Structure 1
Amino acid sequence: MPTEKQWKSPSALFGYLSEKWPDAFNANAPKPLKIGIRADIRALDSELSDEDLSRALRAYTRTGKYLAQLLAGAMRVDLEGKAAGEVTEADAATAQAWLLARFAKAETTQSPEPKTEPEPTSKLDPKRAESKAKLSAERPAGLVVETKRRRSLGRRSGHR
């Protein structure tokens, strides 16, 4: 019997399920699972907590390989690997939406190509623009210079 710590990772939970029911749980060649397989597992196994069983099934059914197998008309399997229903059009559409969302997210999280600095389009005198570019190149990036305004007490309060 596994210790409580072993149940922490979804891969350990999945390892437990695939060891117990190898015809239903195969990471290399996943098959669509029967609707209601959670209740079947619960009836046969009392070692997993409800939370651990939910985490294991969620991790397995959200893998890219599993979602790719959810095609309309594909055969679903029970714990023994026997046919137990078909994947509906709605289930297939949901799986495709998950995959598309995952691909879209992966594209947006890829690091963008480094931007090149645009050419200065200044209407300033060319000499002045050149000296300004030289100054900005000499100044380290991220350096903030603060200046203080001088206050003249006499002028504001009416004293000279």
Structure 2
Amino acid sequence: MDATTRYIGPSGMDSIMNRVVNLLPKLGVSVAGSRLLAVRGRKSGEWRTTLVNVLTTDGRRYLVAPRGHTQWVRNLRVSGAGELRLGRKSEAFTAIELSDADKIPVLRAYLDRWGWEVGRFFEGVTKHATDAELAEIAPGFPVFALS
């Protein structure tokens, strides 16, 4: 699989769990910092939502796509902006995609925080990986800095 097009779609059980877990931020419940990401569709212009983990490290916030080049990633690349929602609160943001070299410390911090949840998507790479190992997988894991 080409890392620049890497995408791991949800399995049958993932789809069921996603429906349940996506309800939590709508109800105002955040699990480990999760938010409902809303981004306008690149073709339809309609709002599309998905659950994400917002990573805060070194005073900056990031979105990491553990499943790869997903639809929300493609939409965010086009729009450059979105909203993070929790209950009735909505926070608008702009996003800048990081270069592969700049992803390394963010991927390590993401794995440190949520490796227990998303580790299966990283195919054996953990927070203890070398910089070279993280650099090797970086093209398959889009990362956006939020402001």
The alignment's TM-score, normalised by the length of structure 2, stands at 0.29
Compare the two structures and name the one with the higher helix fraction. Answer: 1
Compare the two structures and name the one with the higher strand fraction. Answer: 2
Task: Name the structure, 1 or 2, with higher relative contact order (CA <8 Å, separation 6+).
Answer: 2
The alignment's TM-score, normalised by the length of structure 1, stands at 0.27
